[in-house]
Amino acid sequence: MDSKITIGISACLFGQNTRYDGGNRHEPLLIAALSQIVTLVPLCPEAECGLGIPREPMRLEGNPKNPRLMTITTRCDLSERLQIWSALQMDVLARKGVSGLILKARSPSCGRQVAVHGIGEGETPHSPGLFARAWQERFPDLPIADEEELRDPGRLENFLKHLTEEKPNRQEKQR
Ligand code: SF4
């Protein structure tokens, strides 16, 4: 039986062609290093909730405390679709014993700190992407990071230390 810790990872970082343009953002060095010590479970919120590949680019808009996921050209609000899929996926991840997530930086679904457009002049506010937000609300004590943070060896070490200190699901927020 595989006794390694299990973590989820954005499928495009894993090398799967799930991006809106049909490409990926493979991180071979990070994947190779992590694969020796953890089991990686790739997932793509946008493709798996049915938005297809390729698909129209989207971005976060509106109130940074509750931003909407909007397609940029056709102005479709995809928030509810992504949020419903994310809520269901939290149960799936819990059943798989997923103990942490590594997500694609700046994605409106996966990013940890994503620009939120459309509330006028001044500094651009930021918010987690909708899938990242769902994870943080459901599992507030489990680690989450993006690939840019983990290029720093010190932050990678801290992320892995945090993983081994936490027991999956025990920190699940009471609903
Ligand atoms: S950033 Fe997230 S939603 Fe976008 S392609 Fe990668 S895994 Fe899919």
Supply the pLDDT for residue 167. 55
Q: 163 or 40, which is more confident? A: 40
- Number of domains forming the structure of the chain: 1
Supply the pLDDT for residue 165. 82
The answer as to whether 64 is a domain residue is: no
Q: Which CATH number belongs to the domain containing residue 28 in this structure? A: 3.40.50
Atom of ligand 1 nearest to the CA of 104: 1
- The residue range of the domain holding 15 is 5-56+79-114+126-165
User: 112 CB under 6 A from ligand 1?
Assistant: no
Q: Determine the Cα–Cα distance for residues 82 and 79; give it in Å rounded to an integer.
A: 5
The answer as to whether 120 is a domain residue is: no
User: 100 CB under 6 A from ligand 1?
Assistant: no
* Nearest protein Cα to ligand 1, atom 5: 19
Is-cis flag, bond preceding 54, omega within 30? yes
Q: Order of strands, edge to edge, in the sheet holding 144-146?
A: 38-43, 5-10, 98-103, 144-146
Supply the pLDDT for residue 123. 79
pLDDT tens readout for residues 121-171: 677 899 999 999 999 999 999 999 999 999 999 999 999 999 888 654 444
Ligand 1 center from residue 125 Cα (angstroms): 21
Supply the pLDDT for residue 164. 83
Strand partners, 43: 10
The answer as to whether 24 is a domain residue is: yes
The answer as to whether 70 is a domain residue is: no
Supply the pLDDT for residue 36. 93
The answer as to whether 23 is a domain residue is: yes
The answer as to whether 136 is a domain residue is: yes
CA-nearest of 95, 50, 56, 53 to 72 is: 56
8 A C-beta contact, residue 172 and residue 139: yes
Supply the pLDDT for residue 173. 53
The answer as to whether 121 is a domain residue is: no
Which residue shows structure tokens 């949020």?
Answer: 83
Supply the pLDDT for residue 118. 84
pLDDT tens readout for residues 44-68: 999 999 999 999 999 999 999 999 9
Q: Which of 2-11, 26-35, 90-99, 104-113 has the lowest mean pLDDT?
A: 2-11
Give mean pLDDT, residues 97-104: 97
pTM of the model: 0.92
The answer as to whether 119 is a domain residue is: no
- Residue 10 vs residues 33, 68, 129: alpha-carbon distances, Å: 16, 20, 12
CA-nearest of 73, 79, 23 to 51 is: 79
Supply the pLDDT for residue 147. 98
8 A C-beta contact, residue 9 and residue 43: yes
pLDDT tens readout for residues 107-135: 999 999 999 998 666 778 999 999 999 99
